[in-house]
Amino acid sequence: MDKRQRALPLLLADITGAAREIADYVSVGREAFLADRMRQRAVIQCFEVIGEATKKLPDDFRSAHRQLPWRAMAAFRDKLIHDYFEVDLALVWTTASREIAAMLPELERLSSIPDLKKDA
């Protein structure tokens, strides 16, 4: 394995960990989130980690687990990176507070699959 590659269990841990952090950061509520630039940047960086790690997941794994929006995760990362000068914080908030909450249980389930852990 190339030094820059990460094993599947580590990629899932990266994605799940960043999703948990996002859930924690937005737990303060919409108004507090929108008023806190540091919190906004932390959430955006976590979305970047999620999107980048998602791109590194093996195609067969993503195909086998279509219940998660892998392409949308990667596309959101791209939007945040390439259009950094016009990030829509309302969209970041909505995605963080709704989509992450909806995906987190499935991410945690996948991260806990024993057969995946032995490859780490």
Active site residues: 77, 82
78, amino acid identity:
D
Q: Give the CA angle between residues 12, 69, 55 to the nearest 5°.
A: 50
Which backbone phi and psi does 83 adopt, to 5 degrees? Answer: -115, 40
**For 120, what's the count of Cα atoms within 13 Å in the CB-facing half-sphere?**
14
- CA 111 – CA 104 distance, rounded (Å): 10
CB distance 97 to 12 below 8 Å: no
CA 18 to chain centroid: 6
